[in-house]
Each structure stands twice: as C-alpha cells, then as structure tokens.
Amino acid sequence: MPIYSLMKTAILLSLLTAILLAIGLFLGGIAGMTFALVFALAINFISYWFSDKIVLRIYRAKPAKDKKLLDIVEKLAREAGIPKPRAYVIPNDNPNAFATGRDPSHAAVAVTNGLAAFSHDELEGVLAHEISHIKNRDTLVQTVAATIAGAIAYLAQIGYYSMFSSRDDDRGNAIGIILIVIFAPLAAALIRLAISRRREYQADFGGATISKNPLALASALRKIASVSAQNPMRGNSATASMWIANPFKQDRFNSLFSTHPPIEKRIYKLERMGGKKGDADD
C-alpha cells in the first residue's frame, strides 16, 4: 500500500481518537479523558482478538467444504503472498462476501451460498478483493475505526443523559454537551466512512491485480448490487462495512453515510482497468 495512503489512514484514526479523548475531557476532565482512553483500549483489545469469531457466529458461517472454493482461495492467497485464510460459507442466498481477522496469519474469508453460485471468474474476482483487504490489513483498521466510532457514540450518549441532570445556571455546559451529542458522532461517522471508502477502492484495485481480471469483479459487483437492491439481506447494519457491497436496505438518507463508494463508480474504475474507455474521479 502506498505510504501516502497509510499516512492518511493514520491521520484519520488519530482524529477519531482525538474526538474520543476530547469528549472524555469535556465530560469529566482528566479523569474523564483517562476513562475514555481506557474504555477505547479495552474494546479494541476485545475487537482485536475476537472480532472474527463474533462476526462469523453472527452470520452462522460454517467452514467451507467445496473444493472449487477452497482451491480458488489457496490460489489467490499464493498469488498475493499471504498465508491461506480460512474459508467459510454463510447460509444466505443473497450473494456477498467479507473478510475478517486481525492479520494475514489469522484471517478468514466468508461467502454466502448466493455468491458460491456465481461463475468461476466472478467468484475469483470477489475473493481476490477480500484477500486484498487481508493483505493490506484493512480488516484490522476497519475494526479499530468502527470500535473507536462506537466508543464516541457511547460517550455522546452519556453526555445526552447528563443534560437532564444539569442545573439551569449551567447553560454553557449544556450547550457544549449538545454539540458533543450531535456533532461528535457525526464527525466520527464521516471519518470512518472516509477510511472505509478509500480502502474499498484500494481493495478493488488490489483484487483486480491479484486475479488479473478486473472485468470479472466488475460483473460480480453489478450482480451483487442488483440482488441487494431488490432483496436486501437481514443482519446487523454495524457490519455493513465488512461486506464487499452493502447488503442491507438503503434509502437516500443512509446512502449518504454508506460505508462503500457508489457501486457504479467502482464498476467504472474496474472496467477502465479492463481496457474500457472513459475516466472517473476518486
């Protein structure tokens, strides 16, 4: 991954941490800031060690036994230069996939039954995208970003309840709490989206490079988006950023805060890689 990209991600994660510490400082002074830091470290520790097990259990994923799927995962991992990740199948007809795990040596890829029915090239394109996430350690970065953003939302909720215990003569403090309750979670969400969207583009590029077939990935994304729009998956929306495309129901409002770039733009960029004419801005 380019150094400038790593630096931007580090800056965005630092901003998330700064927002978290600022909320703790405002709500409880130095003690509050210390609590915020310890709280963030604790939930990040849990996420680091157990996030893969938790999400695989949420979606009732089972170890894959299909030889075609296992052979593709082994081939792509070898091409990417990483250990072969564990492969799982999720009992769901909505085509989609995600990667999880704290590092390439402790990673897993999961595909739904619906995706397993795709053509060999399309399945390979999607799995290459997920293996690119693993190679770039996106699974860890996105987990940390989601965890810190969740901690910010939790502390903002504490601030919300503290408003009701504020005295009438403490209006300045109440105004500050209102700003924290409204704007801190919003800023955290926007920073998290910036991290997630950038890494989706990078995983598309990396996956297309690993599979050497960007058009197959573009075709798979088109099918996944079409099915998800007509028949959204049921699940925890907090896990939306993990999937190759958001499988949950979306409207105009929450699409503005989507963890993924516009699917049309991703397809357009992949088709450009595959030799089709045109151009698109990031």
Token digits of residue 279: 């151009």
Rounded Cα–Cα distance for residues 259 and 277 (Å): 27
Residue 74 a catalytic site member:
no
Phi-psi region of 11 (alpha: psi -120 to 50; beta: other; left: phi over 0): alpha
One-letter amino acid identity for 31?
A: A
Rounded Cα–Cα distance for residues 119 and 71 (Å): 14
First-residue to last-residue Cα distance in the chain: 17
Find the catalytic residue in 79, 122, 124, 130. Answer: 130
Rounded Cα–Cα distance for residues 214 and 204 (Å): 8
Residues 92 and 111 sit within 8 Å (Cβ to Cβ):
no
Token digits of residue 263: 């699917």
Token digits of residue 147: 């965890």
Report, as residue numbers or ranges, the catalytic residues.
130
